[in-house]
Amino acid sequence: MKTEQSKKASLLKKYENKAYGYGASVVILGALFKLLHWEIGPIDGGLLLAVGLITEALIFAYSAMQPVEESWDWSRVYPQLKGGAASGPVTGAEGLLSQKIDSLLAEAKIDAALMEKLGNSMRQFEAAAQSIAPTAEAMRSTQQYAQELDKAAQQMQALNQLYAAQLSSAQIQKNVQESVAENAAALQAQMQAMSQNLASLNAVYTAMLQAMNKNN
């Protein structure tokens, strides 16, 4: 009779654990749907949360109504568990385990000196890691300085282009001024030639007038 009850209790316990798991999974899915605002037709995060929490509440309520299991006194079956009788074997087992570990360490040639070297190596690695931080900061500063130099070079190139454009404009202005000066000189020469021609014409006209007056 007790065996059947024990089997029944074990089966119920198994189903309870499954129900706990299913209810918790529904709650987790509901929280996920709620956070990500997912919806599958009428199923949304609020519905899943409600179903999961109701399932968990029913399981807890059912567990509260279950009778408390009896705690068995296993010392009646295993007398060596009474008092300090078990201390000897346990101590012996611990000693054997310690001996086994010591033997394995000795076979692997792991001793105090090796552990000290390992500790020193770890401390050196920590010091090296700490020294890397300023180096990384210096590298970042160097990179920033290189970027500033690149910007300055680009600005100098722009200034050179502007200066070249101004020089070209000045050369054009100089050429224009020289052309104007040459044209002015040519015009002046033409004006002088016209003045000379007019003077010659005037002299001829004066001679003709004088000749005509003498004839009269």
Could you please report the per-residue DSSP string of 106-164?
HHTT--HHHHHHHHHHHHHHHHHHHHHHHHHHHHHHHHHHHHHHHHHHHHHHHHHHHHH
pLDDT in tens, 12-67: 777 777 777 777 787 787 787 878 778 888 888 788 888 878 877 887 787 777 66
Of 23, 31, 29, residue with least CA distance to 60: 23
Q: How many domains does the chain have?
A: 2
For residue 40, the cross-strand partners are: 43
Domain membership flag for residue 167: yes
Is the Cα dihedral 76, 79, 80, 83 positive or negative?
positive
Phi, psi of 43 (to 5 degrees): -85, 120
Domain membership flag for residue 132: no
Domain membership flag for residue 123: no
Residues present in the chain in total: 216
**Residue 48, phi-psi category: left (phi > 0), alpha (psi -120 to 50), beta (remainder):** alpha
Domain membership flag for residue 115: no
Would you give the end-to-end CA distance of the chain in angstroms? Answer: 182
Domain membership flag for residue 21: yes
Comparing 9-18, 148-157, 176-185, which segment has the lowest mean pLDDT?
9-18
Instruction: State the pTM of this model.
Output: 0.29
CB proximity list for 48: less than 8 A, separation 6 or greater: 26, 27, 29, 30, 33, 34
Judged on CB neighbours under 10 Å (0-12, 13-18, 19+), 16 is: middle
pLDDT in tens, 77-95: 555 555 544 444 444 555 5
Domain membership flag for residue 20: yes
In the predicted model, what is the mean pLDDT of residues 184-195? 85
CB 33 within 8 A of CB 48: yes
For residue 133, name the pLDDT band (cuts at 50, 70, 90).
low
Domain membership flag for residue 53: yes
> Residue 154: is its pLDDT beyond 80?
yes
17 token code pair: 């654990």
Domain range enclosing 32:
9-66
Residue that finishes a domain, picked among 66, 87, 105: 66
Residue that finishes a domain, picked among 46, 66, 86: 66
CB 37 within 8 A of CB 45: yes
Residue that finishes a domain, picked among 43, 66, 89: 66
Per DSSP, the three-state class of 40 is strand
d(CA 97, CA 136): 48
Domain membership flag for residue 111: no
